Structure 1
Amino acid sequence: MTVNADLRQAKQPVSGALAGPYGHPFHPILVTVPIGAWVSSLVFDIASHVVDRPAFLVRGSMWLIAIGVIGALAAACVGFLDLFAIPTGTPAFRTALVHMTLNLAVTAAYAGGWAWRHSGGPAGQEGVGAGQLALSAVALAALGLSGYLGGKLAYRFGVRVADEAAQADGYRTRPPS
C-alpha cells in the first residue's frame, strides 16, 4: 500500500454502525465516561481526607470507579474497531498499540482498585487508604499519557478523522447575493 492508501484506510470505519460513521467515530465520545468518572473519583478520594464524615465520599468514589471501568470497556470495544482500520507496521499502528496497552493497564488497575476497596467492607469513618489513593493517582497519570497518544493518533496521524476535502466544507463561504 502507498502512504495515501494507508491514510485513507485509517480514516474509514471498519463498521460505521459499530464504530461510528466516517468523520464521526464513537470512541472519542465514549472515552469521556471513564475519564470523567476516574478524575471525579480521585477528587472524592482526596476530599475524603478533608471532611469529618468521609463515608459518602468513599462510597461515591467506588461507584465512580465502577462506572469508569464499565465506560472504559465500552470505549475499548469501539477503539479496537478503530485499531483494525490502521495498517500494521506503521507509526500510527505502533502508537495505537501503546495507547491500547496503557488503557487496558489503567482499566485493570482501576478494576483491581475497586476490588481492593470492596474487600475492605463498608466505608467507615476514615478516608480512602493511602495506597488506594496512590493507585488511583498513578492510574490517572497513565491515563493522561494514553490520552496524549490518542490525541496524536487523531490530530497528528488523522486516524478516523475526515480528510481535508471533507473538512473544507466547514470553511466555505456563501457567494455574495
Structure 2
Amino acid sequence: MVSESQLQAKRPVSAALAGPYGHPFHPILVTVPIGAWVASLAFDIASHAVDDPAFLTQGSEWLIAVGVIGALLAATVGFLDLFAIPTGTRAFRTGLVHMTLNLGVTAAYVVNFVWRYGTYTDGGSVGVGRLVLSAVSLAALGVSGFLGGKLAYRYGVRVADESTQAEGYGPRDVGRPS
C-alpha cells in the first residue's frame, strides 16, 4: 500500500518546471555537469601527457564553466523535486544531504574555474592543485549521485507508482505505436 507521503513525493510541485509525473527533468539535466566535469578531469590529466597542453587546459576550463551552468539548471529543478518530499522523512533528509553536497561541489568548481581562468595562455599543463580539486570534487559528486539514486530507486521520489509502471509490462496493443 502506497502512503500519502509517498504519493506526494511522486508528484511534481510544478510539472511545467520540474517535469511531468513519472518523467522529471532533474535526472536529464544532471548529465550536463557530470559529463562536462568528467571530461574536464580527463583533459586535466591529458594536459600532463602532451607537448603543447594549452588546448587541453583551455578546454578543461570551459568544460568546468559548462558544468557549473548545467549544475545550476539541474539544481533549480532538483530544488522543486525536494519540495515534493514530505519533511521529517528519511527521503527528505537524504534529499537535503544530496542537495548540500551538490551545492558544495558546484561551489568548488566555481572556485576551480576562477583559480584557473586564463592560465592556459602560459602554455603549461593544469597545476596539480587544480587537478586535485577537480578529482576531489568529482568524488564528492559521486557520493551525491549515489544519494540521488537512493532517492529515486529506493524511495521512489518522482518515480511513477507501480500500477503506472505495470503498463509497460503488458502486451503491446496491436495497431498502436509503442
Q: TM-score, normalised by structure 1?
A: 0.95
Corresponding letter in the other structure for 1:85 = A
Q: Secondary structure of the residue that 1:50 maps to in structure 2?
A: coil
C-alpha change, 1:45 and 1:24, in structure 2 (3 Å) is same
Residue 111 of structure 1 corresponds to which residue in structure 2? 110
Offset, 1:126: 1.7
- The 5 Å alignment of 1:1-177 reads 4-118=3-117, 121-174=119-172
C-alpha distance after superposition, 1:105-164 (max 9, x if no partner): 00000000000001x644323210000000000000000000000000000000000000
Q: Secondary structure of the residue that 2:63 maps to in structure 1?
A: helix
Q: Gapped runs of 5+ residues in structure 1?
A: none
Q: Secondary structure of the residue that 1:123 maps to in structure 2?
A: helix
Offset, 1:3: 6.7
Q: Secondary structure of the residue that 2:158 maps to in structure 1?
A: coil
CA distance in 2, matches of 1:169, 1:123: 56
CA distance in 1, matches of 2:121, 2:150: 40
C-alpha change, 1:106 and 1:166, in structure 2 (3 Å) is same
Identical-pair percentage: 72
Offset, 1:173: 1.5
Q: How many residues align?
A: 174
Offset, 1:175: 8.3
Aligned partners of 2:57 and 2:120 also within 8 Å: no
Corresponding letter in the other structure for 1:156 = R
C-alpha distance after superposition, 1:60-93 (max 9, x if no partner): 0000000000000000000000000000000000
Q: Secondary structure of the residue that 1:139 maps to in structure 2?
A: helix
CA distance in 1, matches of 2:69, 2:10: 27
Aligned residues: CA RMSD: 1.6
Q: Secondary structure of the residue that 2:149 maps to in structure 1?
A: helix
C-alpha change, 1:170 and 1:126, in structure 2 (3 Å) is same
Q: Gapped runs of 5+ residues in structure 2?
A: none
Corresponding letter in the other structure for 1:59 = Q
C-alpha change, 1:53 and 1:163, in structure 2 (3 Å) is same
CA distance in 2, matches of 1:111, 1:174: 48
CA distance in 1, matches of 2:96, 2:8: 17
